[in-house]
Amino acid sequence: MENRPKMPQKYRSARPLVHGGSNRLTDVNLSVARKRWGALKPQSIQNLKTHSQEFGFSIIAGDLILLNNGWYVTHTGLIRLARRKRCAGIDVKPVAEFSSTTACRWAFRAIVFKSAKCHGFVGYGDADPSNVSPLVRGAEMRVAETRAVNRALRKAYGIGICSVEELASSAESTGLAQESSKKLPPQPANGNYGGPKVRDRL
pLDDT at position 168, please? 78
Residue of 171 and 8 predicted with greater confidence: 171
The DSSP secondary-structure symbol of 33 reads H
Residue range 136-164: mean pLDDT, rounded: 96
Q: How far is CA 21 from the centre of its chain?
A: 21
What is the tens place of the pLDDT at every residue in 76-129?
999 999 999 999 999 999 999 999 999 999 999 999 999 999 999 999 999 999
CA 45 to chain centre: 19
Compute the average pLDDT of residues 133-141. Answer: 91
What is the pLDDT at residue 196?
53
**Looking at beta carbons, which pairs linking 194-199 to residues 24 or more positions away fall under 8 Å?**
197/135, 198/135, 198/136, 199/135, 199/136, 199/137, 199/138, 199/139, 199/142
Distance between CA atoms of residues 47 and 100, nearest Å: 39
Tens digit of each residue's pLDDT (9 = 90 or more) over 37-60? 999 999 999 999 999 999 999 999
Task: Say which residues have a Cβ less than 8 Å from residue 134's Cβ, sequence separation at least 6.
Answer: 169, 173
Structure confidence at residue 84 (pLDDT): 96
CATH of domain 15-182: 3.30.160.20
Distance, CA of 118 to CA of 150 (rounded, Å): 18
Question: Average pLDDT, whole number, for the chain?
Answer: 83
Give residue 61's pLDDT. Answer: 97
